[in-house]
Amino acid sequence: MSYYPKKMVNINLYTSGNEYVNSTNGQPYSGPYHQMYDGSVYSGIDPTDPNRNPLDVSRSSIVQTNQVLPIRNNLDYSQLNRTNQELYEYGKDPDYFVVQPTGDDYKRGTITRYFSRRKNQTPPEIREISKPTFDDISRQGREYNYALWDVISMFWKITGPLNDSKNKNGVLTAGIVNTNERLRASANQQMRGIKSYLNDLIQYSVKTDLEIISGQYTGGGDFTVRQNNSDFIGYYHIMADGTIMDGGTHEQTTNVIILAGNVLVQNQINTLVRIALGKLGSS
């Protein structure tokens, strides 16, 4: 059984049955589920559940409905009327929060983001919030007004290729744009309006055209020119996606892409890239 770090899985979620269907038989699914870092959804509390099955978004859930589910938060909201205004004054509104990814976040490749939406406002007011604020509202800790605000958490991919791609063996590498699009669509099933709020799918991501290592030099025997397989001698730099190019900086390049001459050199390049990515956002 595969092991997934806790930060790579959003566990112990619940659906009442109108959001997802079983991928195998197409039947509506209700009960606990969990969401993986790439946006995929499975039944069961976490990946260790023996009855774990992949889930798809239900077509019917795309249609907006006026039905109010009899869950605790909705029942709290239904009590917000002229004769019962104390809930409006119970706790403060959540503060806005700006994410600052750390070096470890860039090494891991994903971050967890937290959002709140005011229940009684159209169009919906959505705020990005901190984890402590999310935790307080989730457990009804009373510092923030849980009666007026819904909250969700979601993964967000920040490193890797821009788009999904497959190698010659058909192995898929998840891209930043496609992964975050899937994650956003899933989150929008739980919090309507967040799809419009998250309109930048590469927000906080390492851009592929970002130069992260500069001023490197080789005297030969380490790299070859991709175009003609000749030995490369001179200065080079490395981009955030691992591409190695001629020139000490990206401004000096003649757009010649060079390749590692052997596995040892490639491993050294990979280590340099990981270290450089780890420093991003840490200052």
| Cα 96 from Cα 187, distance rounded (Å) | 19
In this prediction, residue 76 carries a pLDDT of 46
The full set of domain ranges for the chain reads 1-62, 69-205, 211-279
What's the predicted TM-score (pTM) here? Answer: 0.53
Give me the tens of pLDDT residue by residue for the chain, a chain 283 residues long: 555 555 567 777 878 777 788 888 888 888 888 887 667 888 988 888 888 889 887 765 544 433 444 344 444 444 444 444 555 556 889 999 999 888 888 888 899 999 999 987 778 899 999 999 999 999 988 899 988 899 999 999 998 777 787 777 888 888 888 999 999 999 999 999 999 999 988 888 876 667 788 899 999 999 999 999 999 999 999 988 789 999 998 888 999 999 999 999 999 998 888 887 766 543 3
